[in-house]
Structure 1
Amino acid sequence: MRRQCCSSAFTTRWGELPAERCRQSKEHNDTAVYFSRRSGVQAPCQTLWLWARTRGMRRLLFSCHPAAAPLVAILRPLAAALSLCLMGLTPGCSLFQGGRDDLDAGLAPALQGEPVPYVTHIRVEEPIPGFEDGRTPTEADLRTRMSQNSQLIQLEKQAPDSLLGLERRARLDQKTGVSLLHSLGYYEGQATFTVDDTTRPVTVTLTLIPGRRYLVGRVTILYRPRPVVPPSFLHRTREVGLFFKRREALPDPVFPHALDKVRPGDPATAAPILDAVAALPLTLRGEGYPLARVASARYTLDCRERRLNADIVVDPGPAAVMDGIAVSGAPHVHDSYLRRLIPWREGQPWDDKLVARYREILQQLGLFNTVDVKAAGLKSAVPLAVAEDATGRPLPVLPPSPAGPGNNAAPDDDTVLRSEPVGSMSAPSGTEGKAAAAAKPDDTAADTVVEIPADRQPVTLPVDVAVREAAFRTVGASMRYATDVGFGVQGSWEHRNLFGNGENLKIKLPIAQDLQGIRADFIKPAFGRADQKLLLGTALEREKTDAYTKRAASAYAGLDRRLSPYWWAESRIYAEDGTLRENRQNNRYRFLSFNLGLRRDTRNNALNPTSGTRLALTVAPISGFYHGAFSALAA
């Protein structure tokens, strides 16, 4: 074996080294044999390995003529790198594929491909007392939340291929544990893990060390620029009442200087703080400031007092009143029809709730696949950049800090948790992560620049409506069985935008063993007013049973009006005329009814409700003729 490592082919190819120079010590030859032992053959890389260890190679790499020193200084690292690459690419070479047998046995569980089953234990090192207010998590709460966000537990049935892979999962869980503790107010919290590979399955223990909990300290909310309240936004009233209308006063715009449901002394939990910060502009958007946004938010730790301080800057944007709509993407639906459905009056202070209600109205029409309703952008040449709060004092600027909440070490005495525009405080995926994502910077009006008039008059803001039309026609067919009419089929045809104003015409053709006919129903939305529908319908039918044969024609006309978000009223006149053949005699009949209905519907979805109720009351006085005049009352 030692002779083969210096074959004539090798010496002929390289030429610089004679064969006898390759006959080195037994230590060198044994090393060459070891690196080919796993392949079972004498690999060419053995020769390259021994050649690199010969005195000739060392003389070539480390000694040279003084005149060639600069060139050799460049070639030395290149030659070494080339030797390593050749040994790695040569077939059968095991230099980079393993080690000695004892080393193979020690590293096999870590480097080889056998799955490593394991179990995970989560423990809390420092006991946490539970309180009746429910705001302080217990040890069981921490373990539950960590289990919900742990990769070790979620992937426990998918064993890693090595101990290194298992340790990688544990390190990720260690970071998640620190983020979880920070999100619950334990900003000095740490997480550690141990891997016990002497047990089968391997035991992984993740330890959470909460430390002292931080509380909410100072909360400063500043408005930049100073909000401008137009006179038309003050002393407003609105009409309320279902049957007995009255006017009630509306509150003037309010600019809160405290977070909702977050008070100093409360636990510094990420979710409620971020939710309260995200709600600040939402309140203003319902009071006439549609472009309000959180410009920045900084969270600073006071480690001496163990307090979390928050400095929030809100850009209220200009005061605005609502204007008309600008529709795009609806070439077959008339803009005039969509304007009649607007739930606001042009010129009233902006209210995001009305925009959301209009979006819901458009979605319920069945005419559009997608609906996007939002405030149109405004631009002018003179931006406002007043760096002051509501009292005119300069805004404080917090110093930046390289420290952050994601570190496993305890924070310094005064650590700025967030010195950039509003982002999420430390929180893992799950409930806290969703709340953190909800408080990302609000870019609704980030590029909008508005000049406020000197007389404090609000700007007029139109509403952009972007839609994508759906198919207006539907053809259907069905088979059914009923005990009164037997087997039957029914075909239907529907058009949901007959004349371009959302008119709905539906024609049904039922054919059964005992019943045949045709029926048409027509609905005209926004008839006379936006919340009122015109209802028309007619039908022809023939019904044949063992007792009688009926031929009839019927028609109806009515109105359906929405009285409030949950109440509707309906009135309908129904007439029917036909003949009944009984005992071989034809008897004519006709009747007229006036239906009055009132219903309350709080369902969240009419077709597939998951919450809410539906209550309906109908009264129908009837008058007609059949073997003489008659009258009745149906309810």
Structure 2
Amino acid sequence: MACLVLGVTSLTFPADAYAFKIFGITLWGRDDASADVVDPVRYSVDLTTQPKASGKDADDLEDALKKSSQLLQDKSKPVSGDLGVVIKAREDRERLLATLYEHSYYGGVITISIDGTPIDSLPPNPSFARDKPVPVKVEIDPGPLFTLGKVNLTGDAARLNPATYNLVTGKPAGSLVIIKAANKMAEDLKAESRPLTHVSERKVEADHRSNTVEVTIGVSAGPVAPLGPVTVSGAKAVDPTFIQKYSRLNAGQPYSPEELRKAADRLRKLSVFSSVTITPADKLNPQGAIPLGINVSEGKFRYFGAGATYSTIDGAGLQGYWGHRNLFGQAESLRIEGTVSGIGQKTNATDFDYSAGVTFTKPGFLLPSGTLEASIKAATLNTDSYDANSVTGKLGYSYELNDYDTVSAATALEYARIDDAFGRNDYLTFSVPLDYVRDTRDNKLNPTGGYRATLSAAPSYEFLGSTVFSNFEGSISGYYGLGQNDGVVLAGKLAAGTLFGSGGLADVPATRRFFTGGGGSVRGYGYQSISPRNSADDPTGGFSYLTASLETRVRITETIGLVPFLDVGTVSSGHVPDFSDIKAGAGIGLRYATPFGPIRLDVAVPLNPYPNGDKYGIYVGIGQSF
């Protein structure tokens, strides 16, 4: 009993304990919003829309008004003093009026009273009773819907078609539609290499007799101009010459807002800058060109971190890494990392899987679009199919053909000692990996559209057995969003490979033969457990494979999603998959959205497991499965 009481006592907290939060969720303690507010005053709010209309448009308007009201959104948070209630109410009136304009209501009336008194009738320093929350009443009469009447385009915008910018007589005259139309006109004219383009006139006149809005938009485009000198500021440890070179913005090339945006994104992806701003000058130089300024703010160059994964089949995995992002002053990166996996699934630490490696990357090598990468990695891998100890050195070069396409070539030398269905063998393999990647995904961490396609070949020569062989692989994954804000995303992936060589399976290292199964391919099966088998039922690996995955990613809330999925795979001893042994796994996943990508929890069952094989698998990680 004493132990029980002690355990219960250790889990209780005093009433004024600080709250503990994770991912914005209060796990314990009191989340007191008034702790940091001087003279805290609480209020209640009643917001109504009159007259009460019906229909989807009315519901959408009411929902938009409630979302724009900070009185409503912050009703659980106190304000500072009685005057704080009045200030918040007055600010809310402006927000609500802007929301009415956004939804094409230009004759609305917003009445706000505090403790029964209209806010415009309150004294400069009001005083409210503190025995209960101060009552705030908000009444909104949207009035009639306004539509677009006459649309006048002046200046360089006169040659544009208003309908192209959703300005059509008779359609709703939302303020955002008008603002976006004017900005888009300026963007389109600026894209004609006219850097001085700006909106010179934007006038909206509401006619309350006809409930129409007359719109006048003027745009001044200015002359066509190329880029002038490109200067760099803010750089301290990073070479300014490298920054300009890597931006790929050079004097004399046509001015393009899109190229400026791409250059800024390109520099940000180097991960050496906390901010990047590219700003054209406000006038042309004497040569008729537009000077550019690249302003950067350098971030922290050194970093370290750790990660973890878990699968009920393959056990837990830990990863640690340290890196430097600007080794020699031109964004060269050095990363040292180590991993251990199989924890829990294997009882002896000597049977865990270990890896350690060093990777050096130099962006902008030889050409601004080229990247040099050199690495060396040592690993032990103990799977259901084979055990391997290997050391691999690699030197490669990748080149960005455009925004979507990248090609790369490398040379690699691997020594491996492998225990598998063919006994213990040593391999020393030289290879020339060749890769092509096309990536049009709209978001690398959580795509809702686009696709990613890969093609690869790895001509190889194994010295100890004098074997020539080559792997050929390809994959494509696609994404299609459905519904409002892509609330449902259909995702699919197809991958296939084949291997040709001068010898048999035993002459090719197991690390280069094909196996499948596990969290990255067919969930519900052990890692690389799907394979052809010999007469002793030992997995041998195959000369070809094919896998397919289908997922339906359903967003339940802003942060929570459910993902039913189906994975299928086969590995064959022939050079073309014969589909004589197809394995399939199905399950459901949970996703929790974070700024660094979704946290993934998948539960899968094999639909046709191997005899004495695993009955289910649970996988935890960061990022979508593909």
TM class, shorter-length: 0.5 to 0.7
Task: Kindly indicate whether residue 325 of structure 2 is the aligned counterpart of residue 325 of structure 1.
Answer: no
Residue 554 of structure 1 aligns to a residue in which SS?
Answer: strand
CA distance in 2, matches of 1:559, 1:180: 52
Task: Kindly indicate whether residue 28 of structure 2 is the aligned counterpart of residue 124 of structure 1.
Answer: no
1:370 is matched with which residue?
Answer: 275
Task: Kindly indicate whether residue 413 of structure 2 is the aligned counterpart of residue 569 of structure 1.
Answer: no
Task: Kindly indicate whether residue 174 of structure 2 is the aligned counterpart of residue 269 of structure 1.
Answer: yes
Amino acid at match of 1:513: T
CA distance in 2, matches of 1:212, 1:545: 70
Amino acid at match of 1:221: L
Number of aligned residue pairs:
407
Given that 1:485 and 1:513 are in contact with CA atoms closer than 8 Å, whether structure 2 keeps it comes out as no
2:153 is matched with which residue?
Answer: 221
1:522 is matched with which residue?
Answer: 360
Task: Kindly indicate whether residue 447 of structure 2 is the aligned counterpart of residue 602 of structure 1.
Answer: no
Residue 358 of structure 1 aligns to a residue in which SS?
Answer: helix
CA distance in 2, matches of 1:349, 1:475: 41
The structure in which a higher percent of residues are helix is: 1
Shift of 1:628: 5.5
> Is there any run of 5+ residues in structure 1 with no aligned partner, and where?
1-112, 131-136, 228-252, 379-449
**CA 1:500–1:513 in 2, change beyond 3 Å: closer, same or farther?**
same
Given that 2:107 and 2:208 are in contact with CA atoms closer than 8 Å, whether structure 1 keeps it comes out as no
- Quick check: 151-160 or 323-332, which moved more? 151-160
**CA 1:605–1:499 in 2, change beyond 3 Å: closer, same or farther?**
farther
Shift of 1:356: 0.3
Identity %: 28
Given that 2:48 and 2:140 are in contact with CA atoms closer than 8 Å, whether structure 1 keeps it comes out as no
Task: Kindly indicate whether residue 324 of structure 2 is the aligned counterpart of residue 513 of structure 1.
Answer: no
CA distance in 2, matches of 1:116, 1:507: 55
Given that 2:100 and 2:142 are in contact with CA atoms closer than 8 Å, whether structure 1 keeps it comes out as yes
Task: Kindly indicate whether residue 332 of structure 2 is the aligned counterpart of residue 498 of structure 1.
Answer: no
Amino acid at match of 2:399: R
> Is there any run of 5+ residues in structure 2 with no aligned partner, and where?
1-39, 117-132, 341-348, 474-626
1:538 aligned to which of 373, 376, 380 = 376
CA distance in 1, matches of 2:305, 2:135: 61
Work out which of the two has the higher radius of gyration on C-alpha atoms and give 1 or 2: 1
CA distance in 2, matches of 1:290, 1:338: 22
Shift of 1:622: 2.6
Shift of 1:548: 11
2:288 is matched with which residue?
Answer: 459
CA distance in 2, matches of 1:490, 1:167: 53
Per-residue CA deviation, residues 168-216 of structure 1 (Å, 9 max, x unaligned), is 998987777666545544434445689999xxx9999866545544332
1:470 is matched with which residue?
Answer: 299
- Quick check: 460-469 or 548-557, which moved more? 548-557
What TM-score does the superposition give when structure 2 sets the normalisation length? Answer: 0.52
1:355 is matched with which residue?
Answer: 260
2:160 is matched with which residue?
Answer: 256
CA distance in 2, matches of 1:486, 1:195: 60
Q: 1:105-116 counterparts in 2 under 5 A?
A: none
**CA 1:213–1:549 in 2, change beyond 3 Å: closer, same or farther?**
closer
CA distance in 2, matches of 1:340, 1:373: 14
Amino acid at match of 2:370: Q
- Quick check: 589-598 or 267-276, which moved more? 589-598
CA distance in 2, matches of 1:461, 1:349: 10
**CA 1:631–1:207 in 2, change beyond 3 Å: closer, same or farther?**
closer
Amino acid at match of 1:459: G
2:458 aligned to which of 590, 601, 620 = 620
1:148 is matched with which residue?
Answer: 67
Q: 1:171-190 counterparts in 2 under 5 A?
A: 180-190=99-109
Residue 264 of structure 1 aligns to a residue in which SS?
Answer: coil
- Quick check: 341-350 or 322-331, which moved more? 341-350
Amino acid at match of 2:153: I
Q: 1:231-242 counterparts in 2 under 5 A?
A: none
Residue 266 of structure 1 aligns to a residue in which SS?
Answer: coil
Shift of 1:352: 0.5
**CA 1:147–1:571 in 2, change beyond 3 Å: closer, same or farther?**
same
CA distance in 2, matches of 1:495, 1:506: 7
Per-residue CA deviation, residues 117-160 of structure 1 (Å, 9 max, x unaligned), is 785543317x68x7xxxxxx744344333333456755777899
CA distance in 2, matches of 1:492, 1:202: 54
C-alpha RMSD of the superposition: 5.0
Asked which structure has the greater RCO (Cα within 8 Å, sep 6+), the reply is 1
Task: Kindly indicate whether residue 108 of structure 2 is the aligned counterpart of residue 279 of structure 1.
Answer: no
Shift of 1:618: 2.4
Q: 1:377-392 counterparts in 2 under 5 A?
A: 377-378=282-283
Per-residue CA deviation, residues 451-497 of structure 1 (Å, 9 max, x unaligned), is 8x8xxxx7212221111122323355779999999999876443322
CA distance in 1, matches of 2:134, 2:311: 64
CA distance in 2, matches of 1:190, 1:547: 73
Task: Kindly indicate whether residue 205 of structure 2 is the aligned counterpart of residue 300 of structure 1.
Answer: yes
- Quick check: 309-318 or 358-367, which moved more? 309-318
Amino acid at match of 2:263: Y
Q: 1:474-485 counterparts in 2 under 5 A?
A: 474-475=303-304
What TM-score does the superposition give when structure 1 sets the normalisation length? Answer: 0.52
- Quick check: 481-490 or 601-610, which moved more? 481-490
Shift of 1:262: 0.5
**CA 1:580–1:147 in 2, change beyond 3 Å: closer, same or farther?**
closer
The structure in which a higher percent of residues are strand is: 2
**CA 1:123–1:539 in 2, change beyond 3 Å: closer, same or farther?**
closer
